Structure 1
């Protein structure tokens, strides 16, 4: 079908590109001859299709509108508020968990309180992706927020550590689903030209929690009790949701063709390279709903095993290797075909996301630890390192959002991955050569800038290379790659750190940190190698400015 034949006059997802529609410029691969602006104008005046998955209220929005235009304002504020609260909760729990563990006598479950939400989040991601493809993002968003709130209530009223961990598991399930549902909301509500800006806003929503979250959580825990760190967020999540949902009326899902809603194959005739990239793993179609959830559950168990393997003396390495194998086998059908082999296009976008997450977060966890152990920093000042990285992340994200199409996606990803690798190498050299701590601290600011530069672009490319039928599946795959990448790195660095920590000597401690940064540097090298293979439209095929 020619683009101009659509009732709403818009291009069909990632399969078409037109010369007259700015909303798809630079994003898609042409399948048919571009239609002229007269046809576009004539067709765009027709009444939108009743089954269109875009919000009907957005059809008349001017091209110059930003994410705070009145048509997008409520969605922007509500979505950013949800991201803000999820970020605050993540950072706050890290701050108060030592106190919670001590009061509930739950030291043995301390690690599970963090690993559990990461694991159940994988299940939530898969469920929300499949559900969004079938019915649209509104119902999954409501369910995700409901599960997140339920988890907060359970954790906030827990009297024992097992009950608190149970609440964290439920919270992770909702948090994982929330991430995917919000990505699909972005795809359905905002035109592609605004995607870099809304993702930049999401990054900015992480900054304030990074600055004030740990301190605020500590104050609340001391004044009112740690329970209110969980319960207080409940009263803020509901208003944020109420802002978002009314503006999403009219969004509908696009039933997947022959997949039970899981995802759909590209339309016939799509450009060969990108059509292959849009095919999902295990063939042209992903497994059905129950099979996908079973694989997600298996991957979640593997994530738990990875995070807990470092606690097993002697057999930690064997268990970690087995968990990695299980995780890769389980996750393969949940990714676009060719992801694990770095196939050019969408698969490499998904893989780069996971590798970048692994390199960055695998090293970030140990950087404050290094400053405390080797340089005698107070924990408060050591934590400022992460704050600097968070500010740089937000600043770089805002810059790439303003640059828009002037900064090519692939270039942004290549620069970002190189900055992350450089920062990890600086941390490694600082550890080995006993350089001043300022070197590693300054390097981590570069790492934050690199992540802020490439993360929004990877998200944009994932949506741009998705059809209406695969927005949920591909958003889910990106989130799973992000989560599993971090889990794999944390498990691997835990095993390496434990392997060198046989004594408390200074040399042994230095070797432990050096091993951690060496492993994450290797992962960073892999990210740099895969970055050039991310999906871009060749210059000869782009529309003219």
Structure 2
């Protein structure tokens, strides 16, 4: 396997010495090694940032139906996710520079405080425009936290622990599935959705205190400082926002205009990135023929499939299947629960097990999306005979992505060009968040055109569910082909 280790600056032992050392002291790669001693403290610190970010995602998803009933703005329903994730892209891209300038401890504290400011704005928002401004600031802080957690894995853990560390960080979304929908659902049912945001602030401040206690002030790894690829970031976020602007209208012409603008901006992004001296992504990341390109394409398509469902599932369940905000929030979180189970179950895989895990992701996602396209639009009284098949489909989508995810991310570190591992670490969240934002914007566009706002009601919502899940089933179908390229490349270097 093509492996690159983080060096400590000490002379490398000879081959014979390396073999002898490995025989005497085999590298520890189990969960005990990751969760005990100093590694356990590091794991707690890295997982904490993702927990904070992820809980907020599920709280917001759960209370959004109540928010729009109170302050209006259903046309901008998907924008709550789109703007949040677009700002998170900027945060993830800036995270490497924040880490280099401030060090791990201060970087996490700064990220948390930015998140707190955004949460405060959301809590006091009197209208949807103010709410969107708050989500923008929240997204910036969340992007910092999310990217810093992944970037630090390469810096503080041995490579043998990377897959399990990736699985642990990804698995924190499972914690969020338990806490987020509960907090959001309870407050929504009590008619005090603002309290859901207020409750996040003391938790975030507690995390900032924890970061000061357990994280080192400075990194022992030399992080390269390079100019910000501003042109690429502007084009990246503009492409997402172009689709978002088009998605607000139910007029097909405006939707097409938004898509065309996004395609043009994406083409400009690819051209600018390929010629840029200071890049946003590692070399070869935007070419599907490269190992990195195939990896990023697979990750993006899987993320798009999950995002398109998660945003609207609570709304569909409340309108079409008579579920309360609390129950609808928990059912929507089944995808994330499946993701967590899949990540933890497959983290220790090796050889052919890794190949099977990577290929299972898009196949299970495709089956789940097709099932939702058939099952979700059917109006029901909310009994479990009608809900159980929907639950199975939601779990299947998340389970597939979770099985593939740790190995896709670990492979990014392994195939990144020499000297660009730091950029590759930051690019993981940049690519994932871009795909998530684009998926959210496209989902909003499809739902609005299909009748979510006009004619609205049960008929419009049912039609939106058919088109949303039906069209987005093509994302995991395409991911099957890119995943095949990934495993072929993996087998050549294994």
Q: Deviations over 1:76-114 (max 9, x none)?
A: 112222222211111112333444455556667655433
User: Which of 326, 333, 342 is equivalent to 1:396?
Assistant: 342
Q: 1:495 aligns with which of 427, 442, 445?
A: 445
Residue 183 of structure 2: which of 181, 199, 216 is its match?
A: 216
Partner Cα separation in structure 2 for residue 67 and residue 448 of structure 1:
24
Measure the CA separation in 2 of the matches of 1:335 and 1:236: 33
Q: CA deviation at 1:253?
A: 4.7
More divergent stretch after superposition (410-419 vs 497-506): 497-506
3-state SS in 1 of match to 2:38: coil
Structure with bigger gyration radius: 1
Once the two structures are superposed, residues 439-475 of structure 1 have per-residue CA deviations (whole angstroms, 9 ceiling, x without a partner) of: 3332222111101111222222222334674233223
Alignment of 1:2-41 (within 5 A): 7-8=9-10, 35-38=14-17
Match of 1:152 in 2: 119
**What is the CA-CA distance between 1:197 and the residue it aligns to?**
1.6
Q: What is the 5 A alignment of 1:29-68? A: 35-38=14-17, 66-68=33-35
Matched, 1:184 2:151: yes
Structure-2 residue corresponding to 1:318: 256
**Contact persistence 2:62–2:329 (CA under 8 A):** no
Structure 2 residue 61 is the aligned partner of structure 1 residue 94: yes
Contact kept, 8 Å, 2:106 with 2:217, in 1: the verdict is no
1:452 to 398, 402, 421: 402
Go from structure 1 to structure 2 and tell me whether the alpha carbon gap of 1:444 and 1:540 turns closer, same or farther (over 3 Å shift): closer
Question: For the structure 1 residues 357 and 330, does the alpha-carbon distance in structure 2 shift closer, same or farther, using more than 3 Å as the test?
Answer: farther
What's the CA shift for 1:189?
0.4
Scaled by the length of structure 1, the TM-score of the pair is: 0.74
Match of 1:303 among 236, 240, 243: 240
Q: For 2:203 and 2:462, locate their aligned partners in 1 and report how far apart those are by CA, in whole Å.
A: 43
Whole-angstrom CA distance in 1 between matches of 2:7 and 2:467: 59
- How much has 1:248 moved relative to structure 2? 2.9
Residues 348 and 137 from structure 1, CA distance in 2 versus in 1: closer, same or farther, beyond 3 angstroms? farther
Aligned to 1:283: none
Q: Do the aligned partners of residues 422 and 338 (structure 1) sit closer, same or farther apart at CA in structure 2, a change above 3 Å counting?
A: farther
The alignment status of 1:482 with 2:482, answered yes or no, reads: no
Cα deviation code 1:285-325 (max 9, x no counterpart): xxx41xx1342133223322322322223233223313421
**Larger RCO, structures 1/2 (Cα 8 Å, 6+ apart):** 2
1:419 corresponds to? 364
* Cα distance change, pair 311–67 in 1 and its aligned pair in 2 (3 A): same
Q: Paired residue for 1:524?
A: 476
- Other-structure match for 2:296: 350
Write out aligned runs for 1:231-380 (5 A). Answer: 231-245=198-212, 246-256=214-224, 261-262=225-226, 288-289=227-228, 292-314=229-251, 315-329=253-267, 331-332=269-270, 333=273, 334-377=280-323, 379-380=325-326
Superposed CA offset, 1:98-138 (max 9, x none): 44455556667655433222111111111113554788655
Question: Quick one: distance in 1 between partners of 2:477 and 2:391?
Answer: 21
Q: 1:500 to 1:116 in 2, by over 3 A?
A: closer
Which shifted more, 369-378 or 344-353?
369-378
Shift of the 92–448 alpha-carbon distance from structure 1 to 2, 3 Å rule, reads same
Match of 2:415 among 457, 465, 486: 465
For 1:4 and 1:490, the matched residues in 2 are separated by 36
- Structure 1: runs of 5 or more not aligned: 11-19, 21-34, 44-58, 263-287
- Equivalents in 1 of 2:493, 2:235: separation in Å? 42
Contact kept, 8 Å, 2:174 with 2:337, in 1: the verdict is: yes
Given the alignment of the two structures, is residue 78 of structure 1 paired with residue 78 of structure 2, yes or no?
Answer: no
User: 1:200 Cα deviation (Å)?
Assistant: 2.1
Map 1:496-511; keep pairs closer than 5 Å: 496-501=446-451, 503=455, 511=463
Alignment partners' CA distance in 1, 2:50 and 2:65:
25
- Bigger helix share: 2
Q: Aligned with 2:57: secondary structure?
A: helix
Taking the aligned partners of 2:374 and 2:73, their CA distance within structure 1 comes to 37
Please point out which of 523, 534, 545 is paired with 2:486.
534
- Comparing 98-107 with 208-217, which one deviates more in the overlay? 98-107
